[in-house]
Structure 1
Amino acid sequence: MYLIDSHCHLNFDGLAQRLPEVFDKMAENQVRQALAISVSRDSFAEVLAIAEAHEHVYATVGIHPDREDAAEFSFDELCAHAQHPKVAAIGETGLDYHWCSGDLAWQHRRFITHIEAAKASGLPLVIHTRKSADDTLALMREHGAERAVMHCFAEDVRVAKIALDLGYYLSFSGIVTFKNAADVQEAARYCPADRLLVETDAPFLAPVPYRGKPNEPAYVRHTAEFVATLRGESLATVMQNTCDNFYRLFDKVSPSALLAV
């Protein structure tokens, strides 16, 4: 039995410089694979290089919604990059009304381009939404987003139900372990076993007992243990279900491409 970190930023400062140690700590905690997330044109090149160099790491391609002036990928570029054997998803993409305000037509256009590229390429979407859940899900419904994970799910059961009814997955980060996260904890209990994922979003949002410190993929074990207790399940059950769900959603990822232990 093992775990998969379904969302981390291995190219970010604090992780990129110490990958051998990061991978050793993953192995010690039964974390055998990781999905390295792209948020910009530059970061795509970085995460793809990491994925190409390490069998147990896969990458995504996408532009984060937090900067209007970010260099874009065109629809054709997203589709071309999606053909790479180590690119398993489109994203991180979505809407963010926390960091961005005013006329956000540019953000909606960027998101729609990613949705269309995911449909054309057959890859799932990795969705970022902050203070924008209803608009995010409305755009996904309107433009026929077929497969997706709501990354770092930090909403309540109402939003969880909408996403689940659309066929999407929910991924829980260290936020679910925080004392003030009652709504997120309720959503984690509500989530069906076949739609549940766990992640770190490393180097951000470290779970208890590391809250406030730099996060890393090994710490997804703490999130999984907390979710198991929350749901009245064994850690082994959460491990099995989240792995099965990961491979079903990110079906380009090979279960045989595991971190050696």
Structure 2
Amino acid sequence: MLVDSHCHLDFPDFQSRLPEVLASATAAGVGRMVTISTHVERFQTYRTLAESHDSIFCTVGTHPHNAAAEPDVPAERLIELSEHPRCVAIGEAGLDYHYDKSPRDVQQRVFRTHIEAAQQTGLPLVIHARNADEDMIRILTDEMRRGRFDAVLHCFSSGETLAQVGVELGLYVSFSGILTFRNSEEIRRIAAAVPHDRLLVETDAPYLAPVPHRGKTNEPAFVAHTARVLAEVVGVSEQEVASLTTANFYRLFSKAASADAASGRALAS
């Protein structure tokens, strides 16, 4: 079985066809999905999705694009909301210097607040990083000195140095449909160097549909295509990639593991 560790099931793309999308995911062997928060103010939407479907977990956080809209959400608020039993992580939060939709200093401040929440709760942090490698490395290294926290570099499309530093700091690295793109040789090379026990797969749906669905609306079922390419890249079977990424998911998102164990719905690898 596979886990889509990062998708956005609250987006308009899925509103009218969520049952179909979930059925397709099941048919493709995708047993769990994490719908990722982009606005703290929308947490009720995320929690409702997770409460309504055993296969869905959620997170709480502010995407860097929205940091200027939610610049002052305190760590205490993130911590309070994260206590919901279906909320398994903080984020996504981080730095996006490609679009710069929020001022960089605000992105950095909001990111540090999310790190504080991860440090205090013990929940993993879902990190968005785009065209901001130097500042990301600086902040991660600085904050890790202040207090240990778990995290994943989601939808990895950054440079080799960030991947290396992330692994050295104990972070996980998640690969999306980008891994399957013809011009992504560098990303595949980076993926091959990531220790097997730090690898995750995701869709980032509805974005970045993998080959052979590139250009279409992405959905959790399509994570199987990314997993297939990851298996080729790291030199193991598809079944082994499914097993190791599922095990890695439950190790990092330990609250999901506890929830499934308590309900008797643990996902077989």
- TM norm structure 2: 0.92
Aligned to 1:66, what secondary structure does the other structure show? helix
Residue type of the alignment partner of 2:196 = A
Query: Could you say which residue in structure 2 is the equivalent of 1:217?
Result: 220
Task: State the aligned residue count.
Answer: 259
Q: Aligned match of 1:167 in 163, 167, 170?
A: 170
1:229 Cα deviation after fit? 1.3
CA distance, structure 1, for counterparts of residue 44 and residue 138 of structure 2? 31
Deviations 1:84-123 (Å, cap 9, x if unpaired)?
1111000000011111179522111101100001111110
- Which of 236, 241, 249 pairs up with 1:233? 236
Contact 2:67 2:102 in 1 (8 A): no
Superposed CA offset, 1:4-44 (max 9, x none): 00000000011132111011101110000000100003432
1:184-223 matches, within 5 Å, as 184-223=187-226
Runs of 4+ deviating beyond 6 Å = none
* Structure with greater helix share of residues: 2
Shift in Å at residue 257 of structure 1? Answer: 3.7
User: What do residues 20-70 of structure 1 show as CA deviations (whole Å, max 9, x unaligned)?
Assistant: 101110111000000010000343221111001111110000001113431
1:171-209 CA-to-partner distances (Å, cap 9, x unmatched) read: 000000001111100011111110000000000000000
- After superposing the two structures, state which structure 1 stretch, 134-143 or 86-95, moved more: 134-143
2:183 pairs with 1:180:
yes
> Residues 84, 67 of structure 1: CA spacing in aligned structure 2 closer, same or farther, 3 A cutoff?
closer
For the aligned residues, what is the CA RMSD?
1.7
Contact between 1:157 and 1:190, CA under 8 Å: does it hold in 2? Answer: no
Q: Which one-letter code corresponds to 1:98 in the other structure?
A: H
Whichever residue aligns with residue 43 of structure 2, its letter is F
Residue number in structure 1 paired with 2:135:
135
**2:35 aligned residue:** 36
Q: Is the 8 A contact 2:129 2:158 kept in 1?
A: no
What amino acid is the match of 1:63? T
Indicate the residue corresponding to 1:49 in structure 2: 48
Amino acid at match of 1:193: H
Which position in structure 2 is the counterpart of 1:124?
Answer: 124
Matched, 1:98 2:101: no
Structure 1's unaligned 5+ residue stretches are none
Q: Does 1:17 align with 2:31?
A: no
Identity among equivalent positions (%) equals: 44
Letter in 2 for 1:237: E
1: distance between equivalents of 2:67 and 2:137? 21
| Cross-structure match for 2:158 | 155
**Secondary structure of the corresponding residue to residue 256 of structure 2:** coil
Using the alignment, how far apart are the partners of 1:188 and 1:116 within structure 2?
Answer: 28
| Closer, same or farther: CA 258–26 of 1 in aligned 2, 3 Å | farther
